Amino acid sequence: MSDSYFPRWREVTSGQAAVVAPDERLPWLQTTAMGVQHVIAMFGATVLAPILMGFNPNIAILMSGIGTLIFFVITGGRVPSYLGSSFAFIGVVIAATGYAGQGPNTNLGVALGGIIVCGLVYVLIGVLVAVTNERHRKTAPLRGVEVDEIERGAAVHWIERLMPPVVTGAVVAVIGLNLASIPIKNMAPTGFDTWMQAVTFLCVGLIAVYSRGMVQRLLILMGLIAASIVYAVLTNGMGLGKPIDLGPLAAAPWLGMPQFAKPVFEVNAILLIAPVAVILVAENLGHIKAVSAMTGRDLNPYLGRAFIGDGIATMVSGAAGGTGVTTYAENIGVMAATKIYSTAMFVVAALIALLLGFSPKFGALIQAIPLPVMGGVSIVVFGLIAVAGAKIWVDNRVDFSQNRNLIVAAITLILGTGDFTLKFGQFALGGIGTATFGAILLYALLNRSRATA
């Protein structure tokens, strides 16, 4: 890479190189096409998450674009990534606001305050990592230790000790399990709606297994579209349920200012939402590792800046009425398939997201999605979150024959799924919060006991 703060992208053609590095780019027309593809890849989740929390989808996609640009600037354009709505916030936001799963979230302000504080915690962790990296980089030559080893030990090792796979896997699984009752109890008011939920997750399943290429990568979005078509045929065509009303979509203008919201800072909501910073750290750490492996470039030196960029983007998003943001696995999948890692295409993707954010018609289209279809998609998404936690255990070969790991995982899952709540005077820490803090503290206690035995 160049010595300048931002990369000076060297233009290559698809025939010149099998892999396009972060500091390279295709011709701008092809780079723009790749940017559109990344917007499509992140579209389903970035739009779905705010709907499940009662946020304005226009604000969410607008802030995903702004967040991506913030991340690009703070990392110096060295880390290829798009920032989109984080699913890690869904459970805690619903718990903090009492959202019922339909329409705008009337208690949105308290969630925004918690998201901002969560972003601040995330930034502080990033600053600590960046300062530690720099300190060890300067002292490494004096101790005769390879700088790369010192950087990894300083910036990554302590995070992995605090949040080993058994902890992160349990906490991620809890987020999905804690949400399980929302679509089943609140998003299917009639028997017909319940059947439509089943049709929806069946559509997603069929696309996930039998489709290929980009359609398979967009399985949530494609399943949602297919189920909506079935719903329209059964309701608008056959009169079996509440028909889809496209009137607001037709009336909405193509361009207009989105409706911003103001944060409200309440201690209960903050205590519930702020611990999500632990999950964001784990997500971003995994992203850095994955991209480093794919590009063959050590991105550990940018770990602190990546945390700071993601944290600031989350704070800015919360201040405007948007969801918390995170690095996106969908974009890793696209990069892995195309072998194109240029950070230029993420700038293009961010600018496209900004345009969508200023389109009320786009927001009206999202609001037209039938509730039971969203419920069916939610069942899939929440289940995937829970399974993602189990996948962390499998990928890292967590040994459950060790009582320490077994107890940490078992207690964490029940605390979160059963919504175990601890009260401190007038304040209450709900299931996801107690599960997160409990997993970290319990592992530290049991690990220390084992070390001193």
| pLDDT tens, position by position, 182-210 | 778 777 888 899 999 999 999 988 988 89
pLDDT beyond 60 at 169: yes
Check if the beta carbon of residue 72 is closer than 8 Å to that of residue 35: no
pLDDT beyond 60 at 155: no
Strand partners, 24: 10
Higher pLDDT, 37 or 61: 61
404-442 pLDDT, tens digit per residue, is: 999 999 999 998 888 787 776 655 666 777 887 888 889
Torsion of CA 163, 164, 169, 172, to 10 degrees: 10
Dist. CA 21–CA 14, nearest whole Å: 12
pLDDT band at 110 (very low <50, low <70, confident <90, very high): very high
Dist. CA 434–CA 419, nearest whole Å: 8
Higher pLDDT, 205 or 385: 205
Q: Residue 427: what pLDDT?
A: 55
5-28 pLDDT, tens digit per residue, is: 888 898 887 666 677 888 888 888
109-113, 178-182, 283-287, 449-453: which has the minimum mean pLDDT?
449-453
Dist. CA 121–CA 127, nearest whole Å: 10
- What is the total count of domains within the chain? 1
Question: What are the structure tokens assigned to 91, written together?
Answer: 């459970």
The answer for residues whose C-beta is within 8 angstroms of residue 382's C-beta and 6 or more apart is: 90, 176, 177, 179, 180, 182, 183
Q: Which residues form the domain of 186?
A: 10-452
Give the DSSP H or E segment for 216: helix 213-217
3-state secondary structure of 428: strand
93-97, 209-213, 340-344: which has the minimum mean pLDDT?
209-213
Q: What angle do CA 342, 59, 433 make, to 5 degrees?
A: 90
Q: Residue 26: what pLDDT?
A: 83
Check if the beta carbon of residue 200 is closer than 8 Å to that of residue 189: no
Q: Residue 147: what pLDDT?
A: 47
386-410 pLDDT, tens digit per residue, is: 887 888 888 889 999 999 999 999 9
**Interval 29-46 mean pLDDT:** 75
The verdict on residue 4 lying in a domain is no
The percentage of the chain sitting over the pLDDT mark of 70, rounded to a whole number, equals 84
Check if the beta carbon of residue 154 is closer than 8 Å to that of residue 350: no
Q: Residue 167: what pLDDT?
A: 87
pLDDT beyond 90 at 109: yes
* pTM of the full structure: 0.72
Q: Residue 224: what pLDDT?
A: 84
The verdict on residue 109 lying in a domain is yes
The verdict on residue 350 lying in a domain is yes
Nearest Cα neighbor of 320 from 117, 116, 91, 43 is 116
The verdict on residue 5 lying in a domain is no
Please spell the DSSP secondary structure of 337-383, one letter per residue: HH-B--THHHHHHHHHHHHHHT-HHHHHHHHTS-HHHHHHHHHHHHH
pLDDT beyond 80 at 101: no
Q: Are strands 24-25 and 10-11 parallel, antiparallel or unpaired?
A: parallel
Check if the beta carbon of residue 331 is closer than 8 Å to that of residue 153: no
The verdict on residue 269 lying in a domain is yes
pLDDT beyond 70 at 95: yes
The verdict on residue 3 lying in a domain is no
Dist. CA 290–CA 301, nearest whole Å: 15
